[in-house]
Structures are given as C-alpha cells and as structure tokens.
Amino acid sequence: MIRRFIQNAGWPRIIIALFLLGLFIAAPFVGVRVDTSLSNTLVRFGMNGVMVLAMIPMVQAGCGLNFGLPLGIIAGLLGATLSIEWNTEILAWLSGLGTQYKISWLNDMFVTAWREPLGFASAIIIAVPIAAILGWFYGKLLNRVKGDEMMIATYVGFSSVSFMCIAWLLLPYKHPTMVWGYAGKGLRTTISVEGYWLHVLSDSLALNIQTDDIHLYIPTGMLIFFAVMAVLVWIFMRTKTGTAMTAVGSNPEFARASGVNVDHMRTVAVMMSTILGAVGIIVYEQSFGFIQLYMGPFYMALPAVASILLGGASVNKAGILNVIVGTFLFQGILTMTPSVINSYLQTDMSEVIRLIVSNGMILYALTRKVRAGR
Amino acid sequence: MTEILNEYAGLVMPYLEAWGISLCQAGLIALVVVWLLLYVLRGVSFFRFLMRWYQRLIVVCGLAALGFWLFYIGREHQIFLDNKAVNDYKPLEQVNVSINGGEAAELMPRDRDMRKTVGPEFEIKAEIFDDKGGIVNTITRRVVVGCSKDIMISLPILAGGSEDFVMPSPR
Amino acid sequence: MRKIFDLVANNAVPAVFIIISAFAIPLSGYSASYLIQELLTRIGRNSFLILSLLIPIMAGMGLNFGMVLGAMAGQIGLLFICDWGVVGIPGMVLACLIGTPIAIVLGIFCGHVLNRAKGREMVTSYILGFFINGVYQMTVLYLMGWVIPITNPALLLSRGYGVRNAVSLLGIRGVLDNLIPTIITGTQGAGQFLSVNGAKSYILMQIPFLEGAIRIPLATLVVIALFCVFIVWFRKTKLGQDMRAIGQSQSVADSSGIPVNRTRIIAIVISTVLACYGQIIYLQNMGTLNTYNSHDQTGMFSIAALLIGGASVSRATIANVFAGVILFHLMFIVAPVAGKNLIGDAQIGEYFRVFVSYGIIAISLVLHAWRRNREREAARRSLRGNKGGE
C-alpha cells in the first residue's frame, strides 16, 4: 500500500513534501509564524497558479512541457502596458458608450468607481487576442518540429523575450509613469501598477485578520479567479475538443485514425497555453504590484514547469490536481525556505534551493521512461 | 630532485608522526583501503586489483605528483622585508633589497616592504648603506621557501651574518 | 529543387551573418587593425570551448548544453589555484589537473542522465546545466571556506565562508596568450624584435597597410591547433568510428556490437573535460572570474557561435567552429557601436546581439527538426509507395 503510494507519487515528490512539512513543523521553533507563512504561500499560490495552469493543454496534447511560456507572458505584458497607456481613453470610451447607447448604469460615476477592475479587465481583453495570434504561429511552428518541441519552445521563449527587449525600447509608448523620465521614450524596467489595478483580485473579498495572535491574509478574490480558470480548463478538457486533444497527446496515430485533425488540435492546445500564460502574468502582476519588462520573463517558464511536475504531472500527462498540489508545494518551499532556513543558518539559501528543487524536478521528469505511444 | 622529495615528505610526515606510522606503512594502508573499497563496491579480488588497477594507480600517483610539482614550482610567495630591531640586531641605516634581480626596495630603519616571487627558492641581494650613503656591504643569498606561503626576512639578522634571518609571515 | 533547398538551408545562416557584418562594420567605424586584434583575441579565447562541442555532435547527441558542467569544473580548479597562490603556466596546468577529475565525474553523471533521456538529450542537458549550477552555487557559496578549506581572505566573503562574486585571476592572466610574445606590425620589417608593453615581442610578419601592432596569442593558437589535430585523429580511431556509427543510427550500431550507452557516456565525458580546459583558457584571457556568472553564458554563446558557423545539430566540422567564432564575434564587437551610430542607442545593439544569439539557436533547431521530420515523412511515403507498387 505504502510502496504503491510511493511508486505512484515518485520519491522526489515525497521528499519535497516531507521537506515542506518539516519546514512547517520547524517554523515555530525558529520564530517564524506559521500563519504568516501560510498566508504568503497562499498569495504566491494565487499569483502563480494560472501560469502553471497554462502547462496543461500543451502537455495533454503531447507538445511536452511549455518552456515557451515567455511567449504568453509577453502577450500579457503587452496587454498590461497597453491597458495603462490607454487607461484614460478606455474609461472615457466606456462612459461614452453608456451615453451613446443610453445604458443608465454605464456612466461616469460607475466607470470612476470601477476604474481599477475595468483596467484589469482591459489588460486581459487586450492580451488575449495577442496571445491567441502569437500562440497560433507558435503552434504552427511546433507542428513542424514534432519530437523536439521542448528544446525549440525554450529557445522560442528566449528569442521572443530578447526580441521584445528591443521592442520595449522602440515602441511608441508615451505614458509618463511607464517611460524613462529623462529620455521620454523607452519603457522602464519595472512599471508600478499602483493606481491602475494593484491588488484588484487579491484585495477583493480578501480575508485579512491582523490581531496580536493571528496574522492571516487570504487573497480570496485571486483564489476564486484561479478556481474559475481551473474549472474552465477542467470543463474544456472534458468537451469534445478537449477529449480529442487528450487523444492526440496519448496516441497520435489512433487519434488520426479516428478522424481527429492532429495538427489542428495541437495548435488549439498551444494557443490555449499561450492565452493562459498571458492571463497568468497579469494576475501575477496585479498581486506583485509591478510589471517586469526586458529580461524579467526570461526564466519564468522554469518555476511553472517545475510546479506542475512537482504536483505529479509527467511530460505527457497533467491534470488540474497536479497544478494545485504542485503550485502549493513549490510556492510553499519558496516561501518557507528563506524564512525558516535564514533564521536557522543566518544565510539566504532560498535561491540555491529553488535552483536545485525546480531543475531537479524537471530533470527527474525528463529522465523517466515515457509510456509507449509517444 | 631530492629537495623536492624532502619537501613532500615534510608535508606528509607530521601527520604520519602524529598517527605513529611510517611512510611505508601508510602506503600499504592506502593500498588496502583502496582495494577494500573496490572489493565492497565491485567484488574485485586482491590479485586482480593489483594486476588491473595498479596501472591506473600509477597514473593517478603520477598525476598527483605532477600536481604537487606544479604547486611547488608555481606557487607565488609574498616576501616581507623587515628592517626592525630583532633581539640584539639593530635596524640598518639604509638597505636596498632586490629579489631575483627585480626592482629594488629601499628600506629605512623600522621599514617593512613586500615583494612577490614565484617558485620554491629565490635570490636575495641586499646592499647595505651607512648614514653617509656609501655602500658598506653587499650580501647575496639563496633562500628556499619550499611549500610555505609567505615568509619574512629580517634584514638586520641577514646583515649580522646569521643564517636565521627567515621568519614566519607577519600575517 | 531539393538540392537548392538543402544548399540554402545549410549555408543560409553564415551568409546572413556575412551580410549583416558587411553592413555593420563600416557603420561601427572601427579600424582594420583594431578589428583583427579583437578577433584574434576572441578566437584564442573561445575556440577551445566551441571545439569541445564537436564530439557529442559526432555521437548524435546534439548540442551539448551540458558543457557548462565542464566550465564549472574548470572554475573550481581556478578557485583552488587562486587560494593556493599558484601562478603562471604551472597554475594553469594545475587548475586543469584539479578540474579534470571533477569534469570526469560530472561528465559520467551527465552521460548516465542523457542515456535515460534518449531523443531529448538537448533539453535534458540544458536543464542539467541549471541543476548542476544549483549544486555548484551551493558548493561555492556555502561549502567553500566552511567544509572545503579556502584560506585566502581575498577570496572569501566577509562573513567567512563562500567565495566572492569577482575573483581576480591576476596570477594567470594572459600567461598562455603571452607565453610566446608575437606581433604583426605595419612599420618594422619581419624577423625583428619589438618591445611591446615592456615585453620583447617577435615580429611574425609585416602587413603594409596596418597601423600599429597586433599582438597574437600564439601559444593559445598552437594549443587550439593541437586540439584540432586531436579531433581529426580522434575521428579515425575505433572509438571515433563507433561514435559516428552511433550518430548515424543507434539501433544499427547496437546490433553491430558497439556498446552504445558506454560510448555515449565517453563522448560526453570527453566534451565535459575539454570544456573544462576551454573555460580555463577563456578565463586566463579575461583575467577575472565572475564566480556565479562566468559559466552562465558559456554554453549559449559557444553553441550560438557554432551554429552561426554553419553547423547543424547533427553535423559540425572544425571549419564551422572558426567561421562561427569569426562571424559571431565580429557581430559581437560591432553590433553595439553600429546600433549606437545607427539609432543612437548602444543598448539596442546589445539587445540585438542577445536576440541574434537566441534567435539563431532557435532557427537552427527548427530547421534541423523540420528537415528531419520531412525526411522521415518522405521515407514513410516512399515505403508506402513501394508497397502500393508491389
């Protein structure tokens, strides 16, 4: 029974889960509050959850782990920056729309009161089509290189990030909070979203108890958003398209024989992954408070990939449960190691532990014997 | 060559003496330990070990010796030149010291300077002046540093003709 | 038609780079002697690292992103000789001697891991590089000075353990490059000696239009030439033949009695050890070791250079290496200045360079996978066609 459990879960996951458990147990003894740590873990869980969710469609469709997540992130960054650039215009347009079509509730007062959620929504609405277009091309590319998707995805991600580095400098952004003050052009490395949509999800319906005994903060809104996205993905994977996608991933020959257009399914999966990545980064930014441009998104794929693998996914099979468990474990370790180990050893080992855990996990998944049929 | 061997022995011997074993015994013990390791890991018999592994052992020993030799000839030493009073020796009025014919250091009383050399030994040349600026004496010596890192040379002792002018590094 | 496609696909990348350079060199405004000097330095600095990639390609293992493992081993060797204060050529050789066993162990580990991940060696070795980077950082940042004895206070962080970010390699800086001081000059006659920076240099030859003197890292180039001879010789040995057979087809090699897994491990070990030496040569030229970053870019830049030289994932020659070094580093030198002169922003040239490095790797990988899939498809079709004909 126990042996079967270990076999199913795989020893690295068990070690990491025990390690995290140990950290939580050790926390009070070194003066780290469990409730604060738990709150931090939940916040990070909400921040990263959607990006980890972006792994599912591609893995299920047999495209491997989405190391090309930065492509989706770039779409998200474009949406985020454009939503700030055009913030006033968008709000004015919305209230204008209300006047034009005599919609009584869509007036200036409503727009002013809801400007932050509206800004956030506009970021997502701008990002999604960009992500869909990028994802379409990306999917077409990956269809041509079956068998080598992961390596190529990595470098597609890298080259798109470095291409956007040039673009961020050259694109005609004008908004004073975003461009370099002295030059008047070229976006800054980090852009604050304060005053636009800082914490719109995190703080809505948030449970915030700060007394002498309890320091608890649960970003309910963000968690609900993640849950909604997860449910959407879950439902999608059970629709006709979703099952066809899974069939393509588990046995392309069989799928083709039963009349599924393999390449089309893969393209759809890649597009979905890219769109989820775009939404994911916007959720991340609203909680983090800053938009990180230039080399910021460079290595963002690795934690997401490691998370879903930690949750029990393999290179060609992943589910919602893997995402939830994996993100919680991974982010738990990221939160707990700095606080607990630092107060014990007086050094910051979190970076090193993050490197070893995340890449060790990916390595473990890559070196496992894959089921036949791939 | 014998000097180098002596140096190696000098590095290892204190440990061996501390454990109370001779060099020969240490070698045998090392051999047996390696064999035991292989026996446990791979089940190699002692005879096969001698036959199959001794070549590798010789290569490894040769490489280790090469490493030691490189360490020996390539080590950079800081030579502190010291012109302070030591025991009965008074500081010199002025002394110009050059090491291996390099740039000379000019030391007044209570001065201390530092030069760097590479390799196990070096030649020190000290020109000792009197208070009027005339050369009193020129001393040339070869000094063996060996494997130790930094040393200090007490110039008053050197000028006094004693051989105990090499002292431990002040740091 | 196919032939034209293949010809273009094989040489498109170098051709594009020659065109870019042809435009960028006049834009940068650098003199010929400056460019030649820089290129010679960079050939000496980088060729060895890039050459270390050839053997795994020969064995059909793709681009060895795991070469950063060797680079890390070399850096550990350098840290030790810095601590002990061993300088000059003995210091360099000692660093190689210390790095070798570490590189061999890492190479064996890498080889075993890659044997478990056949068919996706590249992505695995890439992630492995990150993983070992974590272990390396743990070793250097926490264990050195605590478990591993490091005594030199100039090397350690003020807290007493862990190595500083920037380590000066003054003791071995340029020792190999300047072992045989040689210059090319435009003013004096050949066969004479000329004093450059206090060192007597032998004038190798004289080129009339050249201004000033160009220093040649002759000893480094000799080492690289010897290494090229080694690779040419190695291809002809039994082991080299085995590797090429495995590169052609693993199953055929296996059925003809070649120990596939073992040979693959040996290929990776050789590559890792050579990358270790390559990194030591690279760093003796640079003169400073960025303990936590020096190896980061090594793999990426070496691979990009090799691909720019016209190599592919499955085929690379010594000529590709040198063409790649020259073209890649020509762009490296001129891109920032050209970017500044063209758009008025050096940062753009900098980003352009990074973009080109990654883009070229991406394009080469795509082209390779695409062609392989097409060939596979064509083979399948012809098989079906034959069956239909019977």
pLDDT in tens, C206-219: 666 666 677 888 88
- The reported pLDDT for the residue numbered A367 is 81
Percent of chain C residues past pLDDT 90, beyond the cut: 24
Per the domain annotation, does A211 fall within a domain? yes
Burial of C145 (0-12, 13-18, 19+ CB in 10 A): buried
Domains and CATH numbers, chain B: 2-74 (no CATH), 76-168 (2.60.40)
User: Residue range B106-126: average pLDDT?
Assistant: 84
Is residue C303 included in any domain, yes or no?
A: no
What is the CATH classification number for the domain harbouring A79?
1.10.3470
Over residues C357-371, the mean pLDDT reads 82
CA neighbor of C218 nearest in space, from C173, C172, C174, C179: C179
Contact status, residue A65 vs residue A326, Cβ threshold 8 Å: no
Asked if residue A127 lies in contact with residue A76, where contact means CB atoms within 8 angstroms, the answer is yes
Task: Flag if A147 and C359 touch (Cβ within 8 Å).
Answer: no
Residues C8 and C58 in one domain: no
The confidence score (pLDDT) of residue C211 equals: 66
Q: Which residues, in sequence order, are CB contacts of C226 under 8 Å at separation 6+?
A: none
Query: Residue C74 pLDDT more than 90?
Result: yes
State whether C214 and C343 are in the same domain.
Answer: no
pLDDT for res A306: 86
> Do B70 and C90 count as a contact with CB atoms less than 8 A apart?
yes
Report d(CA A292, CA A73) in Å as an integer.
Answer: 10
Above 80 in pLDDT, residue A107? no
pLDDT number for residue C204: 66
- Using a CB-CB cut-off of 8 Å, the residues of chain A touching C120 are 148, 150-151, 366
Asked whether residue C150 falls in the same domain as residue C205, the answer is yes
pLDDT, position C51: 92
Both C140 and C174 in one domain: the answer is: yes
Cα separation, C117 vs C104, whole angstroms: 20
* End residue of a domain, out of C295, C329, C360: C295
For C3-44, what is each residue's pLDDT tens digit?
776 666 667 778 878 887 888 788 877 888 888 888 888 999
Q: Are strands C199-206 and C181-185 parallel, antiparallel or unpaired?
A: parallel
In total, how many domains does chain C have? 2
The two three-digit tokens of residue C221, written as one number: 């180039």
Same domain flag for C2 and C20: yes
Residues ≥6 apart with Cβ < 8 Å to C163: C79, C140, C141, C144, C145, C150, C155, C156, C157, C291
* Contacts of C201 by beta carbon, 8 Å cutoff, 6+ apart: C181, C182, C183, C193, C194, C195, C213, C215
C261 touches C281 (CB < 8 A) = no
Average pLDDT, chain A: 83
The bridge status of strand C166-168 relative to strand C288-290 is antiparallel
For residue A205, give both structure tokens: 């319906």
- pLDDT reported for residue C390: 37
pLDDT of residue C280: 93
Question: Residue C198: is its pLDDT beyond 70?
Answer: no
CB atoms within 10 A of CB A331: 25
Chains that touch A (3 or more CB pairs under 8 A): C
Number of H helices, E strands in chain A: 18, 4
Task: Convert the pLDDT of each residue in A108-122 to its tens digit.
Answer: 777 777 788 888 888
Burial class (CB in 10 A: 0-12, 13-18, 19+), A236: middle
User: In the structure, what pLDDT confidence band is assigned to residue A128 with cuts at 50, 70 and 90?
Assistant: very high
**Interface probe with C: pick from A156, A366, A370, most Cβ of C within 10 Å:** A366
Taking the C-alpha atoms of residue A248 and residue A262, their distance in angstroms, rounded to an integer, is 6
Other CB atoms closer than 10 Å to residue B101's CB: what's the count? 9
Residue C199 lies in a domain: yes
A204 DSSP assignment = T
Residue-wise pLDDT tens digits, A293-347: 888 888 888 888 888 888 888 777 888 888 888 898 888 888 887 777 777 766 6
**Residue carrying the six token digits 């010596």:** B141
Where residue A371 falls among pLDDT bands split at 50, 70, 90?
A: very low
Q: From the candidates C80, C87, C151, which should be mutated to test the interface with B, based on the most B CB atoms within 10 A?
A: C87
User: Is residue A258 a contact partner of residue A160, using CB atoms and an 8 Å limit?
Assistant: no
Share of chain A above pLDDT 90, in %: 10
Stretch among A41-45, B121-125, C161-165, C193-197 having the lowest mean pLDDT: C193-197
Contact between residue B94 and residue B132 where contact means Cβ atoms under 8 Å apart: no
Domain assignment present for residue A119? The answer is: yes
| DSSP state, residue C197 | T
User: In which band, very low, low, confident or very high, does the pLDDT at C101 lie, cut at 50, 70 and 90?
Assistant: very high
Q: CB under 8 Å to C387, separation ≥6 — which residues?
A: none
CA distances from C308 to A159, B36, C71 (A): 15, 51, 21
Lowest mean pLDDT among A102-111, C71-80, C232-241: A102-111
Average pLDDT over residues B102-123: 83
State the pLDDT at residue C1: 61
Residue C370's contacts (CB-CB under 8 Å, 6 or more residues apart) are A144, A145
pLDDT band at residue C49 using 50, 70 and 90 as cut-offs: very high
Cβ atoms within 10 A of the Cβ of A338, count? 19
pLDDT at C196: 55
Residue C129 forms part of a structural domain: yes
B56 CB contacts (<8 Å, ≥6 apart)? Answer: none
Who's near B128: CB < 8 A, 6+ residues apart? B92, B94, B95, B135, B136, B137, B138, B139, B159
Q: What average pLDDT does range A194-221 have in this prediction?
A: 78
Quote the pLDDT of residue C228.
93
DSSP state, residue A267 = H
Domain identity same for C50 and C198: yes
Q: How confident is the model at residue B8 (pLDDT cuts 50, 70, 90)?
A: low
Give the integer Cα–Cα distance in Å for A73 and B115: 57
Please state whether beta strands A290-292 and B76-82 pair in parallel, antiparallel, or not at all (unpaired). Answer: unpaired
**Same structural domain, C233 and C177:** yes
d(C-alpha B117, C-alpha B101), whole Å:
11
Say if residue C75 is in the same domain as residue C213.
Answer: yes
Q: Radius of gyration (Cα) for chain C, nearest Å?
A: 23
Distance from the Cα of A236 to chain C's closest Cα (Å) equals 30
Q: Please compute the mean of the pLDDT values over residues C312-316 and round it to a whole number.
A: 82
Subunits adjacent to chain B (3 or more Cβ pairs under 8 Å): C
Which H/E stretch holds residue A170?
helix A149-170
Read off the DSSP letter of residue A29. G
Nearest to C90 among B74, B77, B149 (CB): B74
Residue C10 is predicted with a pLDDT of 66
What's the CA dihedral at A193, A197, A198, A201 to 10 degrees? -150
Instruction: Name A236's Cβ contacts closer than 8 Å, sequence gap at least 6.
Output: A242, A272
In this prediction, residue A277 has a pLDDT band, given cuts at 50, 70 and 90, of very high
The model carries a pTM of 0.83
Higher pLDDT, residue C36 or A211: C36
Q: Report DSSP state, residue C157.
A: -
Whether residue C93 lies inside any domain: the answer is yes
**Which of C97, C152, C170, C172 to mutate: most B Cβ within 10 Å?**
C97
Burial of A87 (0-12, 13-18, 19+ CB in 10 A): buried
The size of chain A, in residues, is 374
**Given an 8 Å threshold on Cβ–Cβ distance, is B70 in contact with C97?**
yes
Residues of chain C that touch chain B, judged by Cβ-Cβ distance less than 8 Å: 84-91, 93-94, 97-98, 171
**Residues in chain C closer than 8 A to A141 (CB atoms):** 366
Q: Is the pLDDT of residue A39 over 90?
A: no
Q: Indicate if the pLDDT at residue C273 is higher than 90.
A: yes
Judged against a pLDDT cut of 50, whether residue A373 lies above it is answered with: no
Residue C160 resides in a domain: yes
Residues A46-83 have pLDDT tens digits of 888 888 998 888 888 888 888 888 899 999 999 988 88
Mean pLDDT of chain C: 83
Q: Answer yes or no: do C97 and B66 touch at CB < 8 A.
A: yes
Give the integer Cα–Cα distance in Å for A373 and A246: 13
- What angle do helix axes A115-144 and A87-100 make, rounded to 10 degrees? 110
CA-CA distance, A157 to A160, in Å (whole number)? 5
A142 HSE (CA, 13 A, CB side) = 37
Residue of B nearest to C97 (CA): B67
* Structural domain count, chain A: 1
Predicted pLDDT of residue A8: 67
* C234/C375 same-domain check: no
Cβ distance B112 to B97 under 8 Å? no
> Is the domain of C25 the same as that of C47?
no
Domain boundary among C271, C295, C319: C295
Alpha helices, DSSP H, located in A171-239: 200-203, 220-238
CB contact under 8 A, C365 and A170: no
The angle subtended at Cα C286 by Cα C282 and Cα C289, nearest 5°, is 90
pLDDT at B70: 87
Alpha helices per DSSP H over chain C: 2-28, 32-51, 54-58, 67-84, 88-116, 121-138, 218-236, 238-248, 250-255, 260-286, 296-308, 318-343, 346-389
B–A touching, 3+ CB–CB pairs within 8 Å = no
pLDDT of residue A135: 92
Best mutation target among A63, A151, A179, A263 (most C Cβ atoms within 10 Å) is: A151
* Portion 17-76 of B in contact with C at CB < 8 A: 63, 66-67, 70-71, 73-76
Question: Is A4 part of any domain?
Answer: no
A15-29, A129-143, C117-131: range with highest mean pLDDT: A129-143
Percent above pLDDT 70 for chain B: 88
Is residue C65 a part of any domain in this protein?
yes
| One-letter amino acid for residue B81 of the chain | L
Same domain assignment for residues C161 and C189? yes
Name the one residue in this structure whose structure tokens are 């972006």. A54
Domain that holds residue C319: 1-30+309-390
Angle, vertex CA A273, rays to CA A272 and CA A279, nearest 5: 90
* Among the ranges given (A138-152, B63-77, B149-163), the one the predictor scored with the smallest mean pLDDT: B149-163
Q: Is residue A267 part of a domain?
A: yes
Contacts of A95 (CB under 8 A, 6+ apart): A106, A107, A108, A110, A111
- Residue C85, pLDDT score: 85
Residues of C in contact with A355 (CB under 8 A): 130-131, 133-134, 137
Q: Could you list the residue range(s) of the whole structural domain that residue A225 is in?
A: 11-18+30-367
Residue of C nearest to A302 (CA): C127
Q: What is the largest CA-CA distance in chain C?
A: 81
The CA-based dihedral angle spanning residues C297, C299, C305, C311, taken in that order and rounded to the nearest 10 degrees: -160
* Range from C68-82, C128-142, C181-195, C305-319 carrying the lowest mean pLDDT: C181-195
Collapsing DSSP to helix, strand or coil, C257 comes out as coil
pLDDT number for residue A195: 77
On whether both C371 and C270 belong to a single domain, the answer is no
C-alpha neighbours within 13 Å on the C-beta side of residue C318: 13
Confidence label for B68 from pLDDT (cuts 50, 70 and 90) = confident
